[in-house]
Chain A
Amino acid sequence: MTPSFAVLGRFLVTRSSGPAALKIGLPLYLATGTCATVIFAPSGLNASTVVERAESTWPARLVLIIAWTVAALPVVRAIVCSEANTFLRSLPISRSYFVAWLGALMLFAELPWFVLWLRGGGVTSGLGAVLTVLAVHACVLARVRTWGDATLVAMTCTAWMVAGPFARIMVAGPTFVFAVSRAWQRMPERGASPPAGGIVGSASLALAASYGLVMSRRHAAALLRAAFIIAVAMAWTGLLLRNDDVLRFESKSVLRVALSAWIPSCILAAATPVGPILRTETAAEWLLAACGITVTQRRAATIGLLAATGSAVGLLAGALLGIALGAPGFLRFALAASLGVTGALLSALTEVCARWSIREDGRTGGRMVLILGALIALAEGMLWISAV
């Protein structure tokens, strides 16, 4: 091992990619751990069943890999595209060193996915699954530009969908190595400009719209992750109510169960974009100050954006849940309305907590975790008391 290889590794792990990925990845791994505890409880599923089912039906396999790719993309992006790595590119260090270290860190980030397939299907299955998801992530980061890139992506996806674990290793392994190298090479390049979005209305509305555009363009993965959290919670609620006929036909019980799943998922989902939005506001501080934008207008923009999104998502989730359960008209309306209203309130409350936490703790946001945990516990406790 040459000195620069070890020094580079130490820098990447302790100073640039490692801390950046840990900061973004911690909530993901906590959420994955919590989900896994519920799903793989002693009386629940086991890894073998999940892998067996995924291997036997391609839609399940596709949904699983899409879900993990979306969930882990921000972590992997933080590893490869950390701003602190930019200056390293000017140093006389072989690109193969970067590829080796970044590949190793990416593999570390995919550990939950690897462990699931390793435990469920053995070493070959685990390697096939982890190399496939690594190749897909690396291709996304490298941005598909040439026919060669597109062919590699197509081959990796085809291998995942139709071939066995050994073929997946043979295809995804070289693709991963090639794509990580490309991703590193193309890291400082900017993508093409997106189509224009609409910035309309008053100062607060225009500000909210611009935050929305920033979120959709730069933090799309975070938004998808938030949507994923809500989708999982609502799917769990739907399954629970479908399997329990007593609950299913009692309006109060349906609302209670739906809210008990909706409240934590809504708070967690709202907490995902609130950090990037507040960071965007901080970056534009000079502009807002120079334009004379008041604190009230700033708060109206961030709270308004989050509350409107929370309300819309709640309405949609409630309506879909009602339709999926085949609930009567009144219950459908009650579900949509209650989830919509709580969605707006909880999203706004999350923004208030985050702002307070950042003001008190700086960017560590330690209080945020405590407040949100307490908020979830309080809401669940109140629902439980009302049920008793």
Chain B
Amino acid sequence: MLKVTEVSKVLGSRRVLDRVNLALGRGEIGVVLGENGAGKSTLLRIVAGVLALDRGDVEVDGVSLSRDEVKVKAKVGYVPDATEALPELLVREFIDLVWRLKRAIIPNAQPPSETLIARLGLSHVWRQSVATLSFGQRKRMCLLAALCGDPALLILDEPSNGLDAEGAALMAEIIGERCTEDRATLFSTNDVAFAAKVGGARYRIASGTLTPA
């Protein structure tokens, strides 16, 4: 499903990622652990196609990111750690926008179901401005946006960050369900309890290199 080969990235004068390799099969979960500033978010941003890589390649479902970026992005859903984007829009408008953007590359993408909206606890804030949401609520909204188009690979940057216990449990539950549907998930975290609850293959990133934890 996901194959990261020899990926390197230099930010400023610092080599954040140095020949990183990672592989995830269908229905698998990958957990990236590491200290603050170790390069977890950089790796996830590269895999999501948000940040360009300097060397190496990323393949999703056999499609290379450097060869067909759009086709790869059609298979990927991404939830960043910082969730600042268009805070002036209502939650409903934000999700509608994301759905329409994704429809450009996934023609059969469906808008999120009422059931999923309710499950993520967004029904009561549906007509509320994004700016008025708490950090945890924004995280839930971004998860809903990432799930638009039913991506084969879900990338979550610090998914439990800012979530209450119930929200973190729900996040773990959704990741688990995706596993049974043959869909892969890659996430970074510093929350050891959350990582233990979700399970999956653990990796640790330090000094730019990724090793099994």
Contacts and interface: CB of A to CB of B under 8 A. Distances in A.
Interface of A: 190, 193-194, 196-197, 199-203, 206-207, 210, 213-214, 217-218, 280, 283-294, 297
Interface in B74-100: 74, 76-78, 80, 84-86, 88-90, 92-93, 96-98, 100
Q: Which of A210, A288, A293, A294 has the most CB atoms of chain B within a 10 A radius of its CB?
A: A210
19 contacts: A190-B129, A194-B129, A196-B92, A197-B90, A199-B93, A206-B100, A210-B86, A210-B89, A210-B93, A213-B93, A214-B86, A280-B86, A289-B48, A289-B50, A290-B48, A290-B146, A291-B73, A292-B104, A294-B70
A196 B127 contact: yes
Contact of A203 (B49, B85, B92, B104): B104
Interface in B114-170: 127-129, 131-132, 145-146
Given A190-B129, A197-B93, A213-B93, A289 B86 contact: no
Given A207-B97, A210-B97, A293 B104 contact: yes
Contact of B78 (A203, A217, A290): A290
B89 A291 contact: no
B127 A203 contact: no
Given A201-B100, A217-B88, A286-B45, 17 more contacts: A190-B129, A196-B92, A197-B93, A199-B93, A199-B100, A200-B100, A202-B100, A202-B104, A207-B97, A213-B93, A284-B86, A285-B50, A286-B80, A287-B86, A287-B101, A289-B48, A291-B105
A286 B50 contact: yes
B40 to A, nearest CB: 15
Main secondary structure on A side of the interface with B: helix
A206 B129 contact: no
Contacts of A283: 84-86
A286 B98 CA distance: 12
Interface string B21-46: 00000000000000000000000010
Contact of A213 (B45, B88, B132): B88
B92 A193 contact: no
B69 A292 contact: yes
Contacts of A196: 90, 92-93, 127
A202 to B, nearest CB: 7
A125 B164 CA distance: 58
Contacts of B129: 190, 193-194
A214 B105 contact: no
Nearest to B142: A287
B82 to A, nearest CB: 8
B69 to A, nearest CB: 7
A207 B101 contact: yes
B9 interface: no
B102 interface: yes
Given A203-B103, A210-B89, A284-B85, A292 B74 contact: yes
A203 B93 CA distance: 13
